[in-house]
Chain A
Amino acid sequence: MQIARRSIFKLATGSVVGYLVPWLGKSAFAQTTKSVSKEVITPSAATITPKLDGTVSYNAGWVINLEDRTELLEVEAKKTKLQEEKKAQKKPDQPIKTEAPVTPSAPTEPPKEPSKDWSTRWNKWVGKVKEWF
């Protein structure tokens, strides 16, 4: 029987690997057998003590007292409503624009200006308010 050099090499390599695998397995790939350290990291008292801040930033970034927030929001709601009402009052009615072909042969009357009479404005505003309900 003739033994080839390659066979000797294979045999040697195989035995070395066979020897090393369990050893490597234990050291390199196995999980550590060490238990978790019993040392517990305790944060300082200053870190864990709950801190209650007396001030708060509410909408728009205002720094205010926490106790003032509810009342402030109420005042703001009133102010907002007032401003909306003012806007509604100031806004004149826009005439509805319709695109019509320009016909020079048919002269049209100039558009009438919306009435600036106070009572008309008041009635229109009341009408609008009624529409909301």
Chain B
Amino acid sequence: MEPVKTFDADVIIIGTSIATQTVMLPLLKTNSRILVLEGGDYELTPFGNNLTFSDERGHYINHHWGGHWLRQYGGASRVWNGYSAPLENWDLIGIDGRPKWPLGIDEIEKYYRISAPVMGEDPSVANLTKYNIAQEFVDRPYIIMDPALAYADAKPLLNNKNVELRVKHNVIKFTCDDSGSFINGIWYSVDGVVQFASVKKNTKIVLGAGGLGNAQILLQPAANRRVAVGNESGLVGKTLMAHPHIAVGEGFIDPIVVRKPTWAQVTYKKWLPAYIIGADYKTKLKLLNGSISLSISAVRPLSPNEEAVQDFYQKKWRKKLDLYTLYARTEQLPNIDNRIEIIADKNAAGLHKLKIYCVFGARDLMSLDTTTRMLSEHFLKNKLGVTTVDNDAIYLKPWGWAHPSGITRFGTSPKESVCDHTGRVWSYQNLYVNGSSLFPTVGYANPTWTIAALGMRLGEYLVIELKKGA
């Protein structure tokens, strides 16, 4: 089919989530012409809502993945934005002790600092990427921010003369030139009507359609070639990761442990107190990163067993012990079997729907068990509390919170990654991926702030590239 029109812009950005909001900030300071394509409308419509339904298999609650993926202006950031904390050095390193991210902690810390105001925080919170790694337990909260920010307001974009915003434009897939080096066209649909537009060679395309949406587009089969455009590496859709969330145990703990504010709470007020094991211990024991928070348990009658433990240790340590629940949020090991696949059935926008597999492995759960046991031993040794490690909760009833990551991973080698260190798809000179799908390891913290930091970084890089082109 001949192109019916051309998307004429310096940069085409797909999606309007926090990844897009941040990638645009450096670009808006230049005179670049930006076209933004959003699949959903300004508010969530039944049409948009139906687009994210997938066949979900594994340890995550049904429609959990779809529920964290919204086709509306602002994307999932409209609902989930804010609950986040920075990654730290250990998160960028694999369980084998080797770096997995193509950038170091110093570089990412710089972008945490720059993007903090976008997240409504003081830039100094970026200091939290570093801490005393030799400590057995460190207070390192999982969440730093309240979900106070809204990305529902499209006015700043609509009022900018260099930006053209088109909602209800669902990108389906890309086409490439004969050399296979440049994206030269975009298939998309408006209200289910499929259309095509050509793209100029020097137009930079930034794909920010979400942790799942990015890979879904790069997996759509091409009409004239064996490999889908963007999946030349064969790695798109592989190593899906998110965060296991498990109430790993409960126990009688000295209230001082919980009431005493951690240094981070004192400084930043909002932190949810939690414990993680210091990086030195994690390296030695090959543990995944995980945080355990303590929350007061609901009042309930105690069993004789519980009464005995409480009485015994209260008398022994001569202190009051209250019942608390230990709640763990942890990292999931990248596993090639956890993946998304496209199925024959298509959604109303014309994209092949997804089948999602995400299952916890032995390492994920045993790491969680060991971390909980270490914390229990830490409390016991220091006469701070006595706790259980709930075998059934960890091994029989685990579940997770869907922060889709890792399925268009960036890296230093085209053999092991979909994108290069900037987020550019290795095969193409003008196609970039933006968002949590780049993460080679997921870390233990909610990903929003890291998505914002990487967006800023890509934005700055594109400004340099566009200047070179000009």
Contacts and interface: CB of A to CB of B under 8 A. Distances in A.
Interface-centre pick from B309, B311, B376, B390 (highest chain A CB count, 10 A): B309
Interface stretch (B87-95, B138-146, B300-308): B300-308
Contacts of B373: 63
A90 B413 CA distance: 72
Which range holds the interface residue count of chain A? 10 to 19
A12 interface: no
B389 interface: yes
A68 B386 CA distance: 12
Contacts of B306: 60
Contacts of A82: 304
A68 to B, nearest CB: 7
A62 B309 contact: yes
B467 to A, nearest CB: 56
Given A60-B388, A61-B388, A79 B380 contact: no
Given A60-B305, A63-B377, A75 B388 contact: no
A71 B305 contact: no
Interface in A32-70: 55, 57, 59-65, 68
B387 interface: yes
B394 to A, nearest CB: 10
Nearest to B385: A63
Contacts of A62: 251, 305, 309, 386-388
A83 interface: yes
Interface in B270-318: 303-309, 311-312, 316
A78 B316 CA distance: 17
A60 B304 CA distance: 11
Contacts of A72: 308-309, 312
Contacts of A55: 376-377, 380
B391 interface: yes
A123 B305 CA distance: 30
Contact of B390 (A61, A65, A76): A61
Contact of B249 (A61, A64, A78): A61
Interface of A: prevailing SS = helix
A89 interface: no
A45 to B, nearest CB: 16
Interface in B363-395: 373, 376-377, 380, 386-391
Contacts of A80: 304
Interface string A78-96: 1110110000000000000
B211 to A, nearest CB: 35
Given A55-B380, A61-B249, A79 B388 contact: no
Nearest to B251: A62
Given A63-B377, A63-B380, A83-B304, A75 B311 contact: yes
Contacts of B304: 76, 79-80, 82-83
Contacts of B309: 62, 64, 72, 76
Contacts of A76: 304-305, 308-309
B312 A71 contact: yes
Contacts of B305: 59-60, 62, 76, 79
Contact of A61 (B308, B377, B389): B389
B376 A63 contact: yes
A61 B386 contact: no
B388 A65 contact: no
B222 to A, nearest CB: 49
A78 B312 CA distance: 12
A72 B312 CA distance: 7
A75 B312 contact: yes
A62 B321 CA distance: 15
A80 B249 CA distance: 22
Given A63-B377, A64-B386, A79 B391 contact: no
Contacts of B312: 68, 71-72, 75
A83 to B, nearest CB: 5
A133 to B, nearest CB: 23
A63 B388 contact: yes
Contacts of A79: 304-305, 307-308, 311
A58 to B, nearest CB: 9
Contact of B386 (A63, A71, A83): A63
Contacts of B386: 62-64
B329 to A, nearest CB: 20
Interface string B231-275: 000000000000000000101000000000000000000000000
Given A63-B377, A75-B312, A57 B389 contact: yes
A63 B387 contact: yes
Contacts of B389: 57, 61, 63
A80 B251 CA distance: 19
B27 to A, nearest CB: 53
Interface centre among B308, B387, B388, B391 (most CB of A within 10 A): B308
Nearest to B392: A61
Interface of B: 249, 251, 303-309, 311-312, 316, 373, 376-377, 380, 386-391
Given A63-B373, A79-B308, A82-B304, 5 more contacts: A55-B380, A60-B306, A61-B391, A63-B377, A72-B309
17 contacts: A55-B380, A60-B305, A60-B388, A61-B388, A61-B390, A62-B386, A62-B388, A63-B373, A63-B387, A63-B388, A65-B380, A72-B308, A75-B308, A76-B308, A78-B308, A79-B304, A79-B305
